[in-house]
Amino acid sequence: MKSVFYTPSEERIEDPTAHYVSSLILEQSSSYWESGSTDAMIKYLDNDGYTVSEMILMRRDPFGIYVQFNGPKTLQFVMCRNPQNPQLEEEVTIKLGGNPWTLPQSYFVDLQIAAQVASSYINSKNGERPSGFDWIES
């Protein structure tokens, strides 16, 4: 099994380090995160090249980062600041690839949390959804 990281600026890095991904989340500019594909992805591939799981990251200042985990068969989870009541906060409209997308604001988490969950996913080496974080099925 191996992991691959796709940066917003269209670089593809095999077996990235947690430190590198965290530094992009915490230290790069919002214009960096809205360039290129306007999002990033870490994915795990099995030995035959099939995707085991994916984590998509989309930073939009000032809201934070949207973190989505894709399991098998379009099963999706997102990190949520208010997992008991995702609708507690109002909706915000951001752009993905230039196209508007309206989401609950609670789907955007702090940069620090996003860096932790991405690091945990990378360090797991097994592609499982990191536990100990607030996920909801989206």
Residues 104-133 touching another protein, rule: CB under 8 A, are none
Please state the closest distance from residue 132 (CB atom) to another protein, in A: 24
Contact call for residue 95 and another protein (CB under 8 A): yes
In contact, 122 and 21? CB cutoff 8 Å? yes
Helix locations, the chain, DSSP H:
18-27, 30-33, 111-124
CA distances from 109 to 4, 45, 49, 95, 117 (A): 23, 26, 31, 17, 11
Of 48, 45, 35, whose CA–CA distance to 7 is shortest? Answer: 35
Contact call for residue 103 and another protein (CB under 8 A): yes
Contact call for residue 40 and another protein (CB under 8 A): yes
Please state the closest distance from residue 16 (CB atom) to another protein, in A: 6
- Interface map 45-84 toward another protein (x if CB under 8 A): ---xxxx--x-x-------------x--xx-x--------
Please state the closest distance from residue 97 (CB atom) to Zn ion, in A: 5
Of 8, 4, 69, whose CA–CA distance to 38 is shortest? Answer: 8
CB proximity list for 22: less than 8 A, separation 6 or greater: 115, 118, 119
Please state the closest distance from residue 62 (CB atom) to another protein, in A: 20
Identify the residue whose tokens are 């590198």: 20
Give residues in contact with Zn ion (CB under 5 A): 97
Give residues in contact with another protein (CB under 8 A): 6-7, 9-17, 19-20, 23-24, 28-29, 31-32, 35-41, 43, 48-51, 54, 56, 70, 73-74, 76, 95-103, 138
